[in-house]
Amino acid sequence: MPITVAALRETAAAERRVAITPEVAKKWRGQGLRVLLERGAGESAGFPDSSYPDVEFADADSVLTTADLLACVLPPTDTALAKLREGAVLVGQLRPYGAAERLSAIAARRLTAFALELLPRTTRAQAMDVLSSQAGVAGYRAMLIAAEACPKFFPMLTTAAGTIRPSRVLVIGAGVAGLQAIATARRLGAQTEGYDVRPETREQVESLGAKFLDLGVSAAGSGGYARELSADERAAQQQALADHLKVFDVVVSTAAVPGRAAPKILTAAMVAGMKPGALIVDLAAESGGNCELTRPGERVRQDGITVLGPLNLPAGAPLHASEMYARNVHHFVDLLLRDGALQPDFDDELVSKSCVVRAGEPVFRG
């Protein structure tokens, strides 16, 4: 019997992505795998059932009781986990931090589960790096949201009514999301600057045609993330940043580390010192936000400044986000296959470090 790789229709609020696209389904069928989807699984992402000629369709219960491997975008519900066939493999963004009950539920079904957000950030893992692929979508959409909400044009315009000066945009954090936000702001014609406490990001920011904002604080860390600032470094950073914020029309903040609360970079006092009509789009809202005024999923207006805390931005561009995500999943699943069977090699660090439950035994210590 061939391995059955499956996916459900995602049910989280406003989630429109799908873990298996027609492209990836075709590749798996070419590898001799059976692909099974819940009816309508890809509809919200722009992939109707008719676009999947290489798969079988069933209701959710049948998918769960049949799947050897279930791919997901976000963690399945407790109800779905309770119906998943014992001994199956679960692959996706499982949000393991602070999720002891969910991991216990996965273990209770004797599943083996892999949380893709735990993949080491190595060169070999790039093709399966869901954090990077989805962060790129988030950075792009964050800047589009900023351009729409900003009371000014982004580009310089020369009109019969006079010249319109370009908006000044600052992007805080030069990771994947931040760099994509910078690139998008530049494409939209804004006068763009980028800031990061990691000095090695200067070259990347400047390669996109933006100016690097140097505040004199350096905090390069490991794994591609910044280390935590000391109290003195944080005070120096905030004072220097407060002085610069006064000139910007738009600030997009993207500083976040998986499993931790987002660092508070923008204080209420700093926001109060910004120019009237300025806008902050806090991409880190889901993990508490980089701004003290951020409320996840809400628009806050204070002292003439608007603060937006958008959630799950990749779901707002579901077709391309799904295509990238499904390719990431496909590359990772290839690591789990051997001789036509699911045989994960736990000597491979990409497999072992992303595993949160192994054959019913919790192994994640986050």
Domains of the chain plus CATH, in order, are 4-118+318-361 (3.40.50.720), 136-315 (3.40.50.720)
Q: Which residue in the block uniquely carries the two structure tokens 């439950």? A: 357
Exactly one of 68, 129, 196, 282 is catalytic; name it.
129
**Helix 130-149 and helix 176-187, axial crossing angle in degrees, nearest 10:** 40
129 catalytic? Reply is yes
Phi then psi for residue 5, to 5 deg, are -100, 130
pLDDT at 267 (0 to 100): 94
Q: Identify whether 239 is a catalytic site residue.
A: no
Task: Select which of 39, 121, 299, 338 is catalytic.
Answer: 121
Integer CA distances (angstroms), 34 to 7, 66, 150, 331, in order: 12, 11, 48, 17
Question: Active site residue: 225, 295, 334, 352, which one?
Answer: 225
Can you give the pLDDT at residue 240?
Answer: 83
Q: What distances in angstroms separate CA 259 from CA 12, 131, 177, 262, 345, one per listed residue?
A: 20, 13, 17, 9, 26
Active site annotation includes 126: yes
List the catalytic residue out of 93, 132, 134, 354: 132
* pLDDT for the residue 198: 87
Task: Enumerate residues 6+ apart whose C-beta is below 8 A from 130.
Answer: 93, 116, 117, 119, 325, 328, 329
Q: Active-site residue 121, yes or no?
A: yes
Question: What are the phi and psi torsion angles at 24 (to 5°)?
Answer: -70, -35
Low-confidence ranges of the chain (pLDDT < 50): none
Cβ(245)–Cβ(273) below 8 Å: yes
Q: Which of 104, 126, 239, 302 is catalytic?
A: 126
Predicted confidence at residue 339, as pLDDT, reads: 86
Token pair in block for residue 311 = 């959630």
